[in-house]
Amino acid sequence: MNPIQLGILVFGAILVGVLVMSLIHIYNALVDLRNQIDRAWANIEVILKQRHDELPQLITVIQQFTQYERATLDRLIEARTRYGSASSINDKVKAASEVSSALQGVLVVAEGYPELKSSDQFVHFQQRISALENQIADRRELFNETVTRFNVRIQQIPDVFLASALGYSKTDLYRISHAEKKMPSLKMKLSA
Amino acid sequence: MRHSSGENFIQLAGFCFFFGGALLWDWQRRMRRSRKIEDTARVPVASAAQGHAELHGYAWPIQTLSTLLSGKTAVYRSLKIEKNVRRGKRSHWVTIYEEKSERPFYLVDSSGMALIYPPGAEIECQCLEKAWFQLGDEQRLTVNELLRTHGVDVPMSWGFWIFSSLRITERWIDAGSPLLALGQFRSGQDSLIPMKSTPMRGLGQFLEKVQKLSRPEFAAFILDKNRDGVISAEEHHDGVVAAASLSTGTYGSRPIVIPKGGEKSPGFSGQMTHSTADPLFISDHHEKGTLERLLKWNFLRLIAGAAAISTGVILVYLQMR
């Protein structure tokens, strides 16, 4: 064999080897990205669970002062129950948004009860939920950025070929629900 | 002659394999690193959760270091002194002294501060290399003293110091430099370093200046040195380092009076250390600048590496024929 031909053959073989390694690397990176999304969502769920656990105590305090606002409190109780029974990420995102929306409704009601607003217990839970909402907002940003990077990657060449082979599809962002958009900011209300 | 020629072929082939392998390894290392940086979402320091995280901010010292070659104020420094050793016709460089700063430093942004521990981390930062004859008198005295203090045995003759080949390589991260840290973040309010020992003076002013520099009108006027309408990563880096110098009163040789009074500093949020499971990567540019630096000429590394290995194979083939 001609040395030049041998050199070209070896050069080509190295590039093929590099291509195979690159495909392995892309596969690993996509799996890593997918796991980052799961992790980012798990970090949000931790806070949502804390909020979920603290809501009954807030509801009890409010019930002591607002005997005539049953419908508003029932809406929050139902939203909380739906969150507890949700299984997929998308269902939980939807249920969490409903809880936020119902919580806003309850706090609007609380505005009309000065005795409730000045109650130490209510103030304590108000501050606690405010801190949790801040954390949820921060982690929602991280989750959305992670999801965006994943969605962009699986639509770009060459990742798009491997992504479709792995069955990866676009993940939904954790958006603000229509009801949440209508109401004044929950954070503003809780810190008032 | 034939035997000697054959040895040369094999040695040259060995060099080609080694050089080509090193280039390919470097190519894939840079590709993996840049992909990891692109795929990891950036998070403000105060919002970072426990686990793998990418933080962007600015380097702030717990204790400042002075660099030898560039005369700058740094948060991290590594120094390597090499001597050129000759064996017959061949020569190679031997490291006679090496040190790397192990002092932690802060990564600060407007939301919080994180402690960064450099030992074991992969660090991309500025690098300067000088030969012995390029050093100033004070720098030579410092090198002399360093080697003597650390018991490095070098012949103290004028002949050696004039005619020998010494190479000094220094790498450093400026105080106030943009910083990217990618690795395992441990959140928590307990700093392993007492907060009182950290020079917070000037930190609040520095963050205000950085805030102003993020506005397009200020950035264009102050950072764009070559007035080409684009603020490069280097211009951004130099601008914020100058802002840090101004804020701490270390700009140039003229002392600047810093107003007294309490400074509002961001709170402590956590720390990042290197581990084998999650290696720590630190860069003195933010994402865009780091990716530019990592991927510059990277395609050439791939081509050159493949070509070098192919050349090595050809040489072996010719020798065996």
Q: What is the ipTM of this complex?
A: 0.75
- What number is the average pLDDT over the span B41-47? 87
- What number is the average pLDDT over the span B116-125? 93
What is chain B's mean pLDDT, rounded?
82
B131 has a pLDDT exceeding 60: yes
pLDDT digits (tens, 9 = 90+) for A7-66: 899 999 999 999 999 999 999 999 999 999 998 888 888 888 888 888 888 888 777 776
pLDDT score, position A192: 40
A33: nearest CB among B39, B46, B314: B39
Phi and psi, residue B112, nearest 5°: -175, -175
B252 has a pLDDT exceeding 80: no
Is the peptide bond prior to A56 cis by the omega test (within 30 degrees of 0)?
no
B302–A141: do the CB atoms touch at under 8 Å? no
Phi and psi, residue A53, nearest 5°: -75, -25
* Alpha-carbon distances of A104 from A116, A121, A134, A187, rounded to whole Å: 16, 18, 15, 9
A11–B306: do the CB atoms touch at under 8 Å? yes
A18–B302: do the CB atoms touch at under 8 Å? yes
- What number is the average pLDDT over the span B136-143? 83
pLDDT score, position B160: 55
B259 has a pLDDT exceeding 50: no
Distance CA B162, CA B157 (A): 9
B39–A139: do the CB atoms touch at under 8 Å? no
B191 has a pLDDT exceeding 70: no
What percentage of chain B carries pLDDT values higher than 70?
Answer: 85
Q: Closest chain A residue to B111 measured between Cα atoms?
A: A138
Contacts of residue B151, defined as CB under 8 A and 6 or more positions apart, other chains included, come to none
B163 has a pLDDT exceeding 60: no
| Chain A residues within an 8 Å CB radius of B24 | 14, 18
| Chain A residues within an 8 Å CB radius of B38 | 149
Q: Closest chain A residue to B46 measured between Cα atoms?
A: A138
For B228, the 3-state DSSP assignment is coil
Q: Closest chain A residue to B306 measured between Cα atoms?
A: A11
Per-residue burial over A152-177, b = 16 or more CB atoms within 10 Å of its CB, e = otherwise: ebbeeeebeebbeeeebeebeebeee
pLDDT score, position A114: 77
- What number is the average pLDDT over the span B37-42? 90
Q: Closest chain A residue to B318 measured between Cα atoms?
A: A3
Measure in Å the smallest separation between the Cα of A107 and chain B Cα atoms: 26
Confidence of residue B154 (pLDDT cuts 50, 70, 90): low
What percentage of chain A carries pLDDT values higher than 70?
Answer: 89
Measure in Å the smallest separation between the Cα of A71 and chain B Cα atoms: 36
- Contact between A106 and A74 under an 8 Å Cβ cutoff? The reply is no
| Chain B residues within an 8 Å CB radius of A29 | 35-36, 39
**Closest to B181 measured CA to CA, from B76, B296, B298:** B76
B49–A21: do the CB atoms touch at under 8 Å? no
Q: Which residues of B touch A (CB under 8 A)?
A: 24, 28, 31-32, 35-36, 38-44, 46-47, 49, 51-52, 302, 305-307, 309-311, 313-314, 317-318
Measure in Å the smallest separation between the Cα of B32 and chain A Cα atoms: 8
pLDDT score, position A13: 93
- Cα radius of gyration (chain A): 25
| Chain B residues within an 8 Å CB radius of A7 | 310-311, 313-314
B306: nearest CB among A4, A14, A43: A14
Q: Closest chain A residue to B29 measured between Cα atoms?
A: A25
Least confident range from A102-116, B49-63, B269-283, B290-304: namely: A102-116
A146–B36: do the CB atoms touch at under 8 Å? no
pLDDT score, position A179: 57
| Chain A residues within an 8 Å CB radius of B35 | 25, 29
A40–B38: do the CB atoms touch at under 8 Å? no
* Alpha-carbon distances of B21 from B12, B35, B110, rounded to whole Å: 14, 21, 43
B78 has a pLDDT exceeding 80: yes
pLDDT score, position A189: 45
- Contact between B73 and B199 under an 8 Å Cβ cutoff? The reply is no
Q: Closest chain A residue to B35 measured between Cα atoms?
A: A29
pLDDT score, position B254: 39
- What number is the average pLDDT over the span B188-206? 63
**Closest to B288 measured CA to CA, from B234, B238, B242, B240:** B234
pLDDT score, position A88: 79
Distance CA B60, CA B102 (A): 15
Measure in Å the smallest separation between the Cα of A29 and chain B Cα atoms: 8
- Contact between A12 and A115 under an 8 Å Cβ cutoff? The reply is no
Phi and psi, residue B268, nearest 5°: -80, 135
Measure in Å the smallest separation between the Cα of B190 and chain A Cα atoms: 19
Number of CB atoms found within 10 A of residue B310's CB = 22
Q: Closest chain A residue to B25 measured between Cα atoms?
A: A18
- What number is the average pLDDT over the span B172-183? 93
Q: Name the pairing type of β-strands B268-273 and B113-116.
A: parallel
| Chain B residues within an 8 Å CB radius of A146 | 41
B38–A145: do the CB atoms touch at under 8 Å? no
A33–B41: do the CB atoms touch at under 8 Å? no
Confidence of residue A181 (pLDDT cuts 50, 70, 90): low
